[in-house]
Amino acid sequence: MTCSFFLRLSLVLSALFSATQARAEATHYPLTVHSCDREVTFDKAPQHALSHDINMTQMMLALGLKSSMAGYSGISGWKTVTPHMAKILDGMPELASKYPSIETLLNANVDFFFAGWDYGMSIGGDLTPQTLAPLGIKVYELTESCAFVMKRPAATLDMMYGDLRNLGRIFNVQDRAEQLIAQMQQRVARISATLPADKPRVFLYDSGEDRAMTSGRLAMPQALITAAGGRNILDDIDASWTRVNWESVVERNPQVIAIVDYGEVTAEQKEQFLLSNPALQSVDAIRNKRFVVIPYAAATPGIDNIDAIETLAAAFHGKPL
């Protein structure tokens, strides 16, 4: 490695380290934050928050907000709870194994709902910022999910950092948020400094047999694949989590397939399906059996995103980075 490499890495890490030393200013309420195409005003920090899905619950807990939470929802009904996650969740009630109802929130005296579009909320559904506002329940939307209700650029890590930063402001724990973000940025900087110029073509496989559930340019895997030194074969598709025909996958000929591991169908079963699918036999990734597995919590916006980038980078470039 050249001296210029070490100099670039040193400068990046030095700047990020310096950022962690500056104490963030305490929140002055009322506080107004942007959430998708809305503005939400908080007169005080929420005291009975509900987070939906494993990735958003991890964000809240990473910021030390357990004491400010009424509970969580949408985890055990969809995903396997690992022993590590069970330990983190210990002592917190799961208010709904899948989707919570308005009654669920009211019965738990919830005053803040951290969810997203297609992550606990649906357009025209019972739970939306508009239906919950008259009940005094503030909603903060996962930024990645805003693609379902507004136009926005391709997904980036900055969107996830922004969610952590906004949560820090809402709950007046900015120092924790900034420290966590800086630590994550340091890890990404180390990976970026070691990436070769070659960018393998990557297909993200979530699920589906007749058609494939995958990620266009607006979902978080776009940012993860890019940061790991790959190229999402669907980076020209202006969609978030979406379905595509297998013909599109064959035409774009991925060199690596990243499998999202969750639910009743295991990653091994997904891999076997792909290997045995007659339509895919000409695909480079199938012929060379190049697969990499990342868990759901790492594929969706959250604190495990950097783990995913490290895993993907090692798989893309054939060695730990």
* Domains, in order of start, for the chain: 27-171 (3.40.50.1980), 196-317 (3.40.50.1980)
Residue 6: per-residue pLDDT = 45
Nearest to 208 by CA among 149, 249, 148: 249
Is the model's pTM score more than 0.75? yes
Helix, strand, coil content of the chain in percent (nearest 5): 45, 20, 35
- Interatomic CA distance for residues 25 and 174, integer angstroms: 7
Sign (positive or negative) of CA dihedral 223, 310, 163, 183: negative
Residue 81: per-residue pLDDT = 76
- Interatomic CA distance for residues 266 and 248, integer angstroms: 24
Task: Tell whether the model's pLDDT for residue 13 goes beyond 90.
Answer: no
* For range 293-308, the mean pLDDT: 97
pLDDT digits 0-9 by tens, 213-255? 999 999 999 999 999 999 999 999 999 999 999 999 999 999 9
End-to-end CA distance of the chain: 13
Extract the tokens encoding 171. Answer: 């709950």
- Interatomic CA distance for residues 82 and 89, integer angstroms: 10
pLDDT bucket at 88, cuts 50 / 70 / 90: confident
* Order of all β-strands in the sheet with 201-205: 231-232, 201-205, 256-261, 291-295
Share of the chain above pLDDT 90, in %: 85
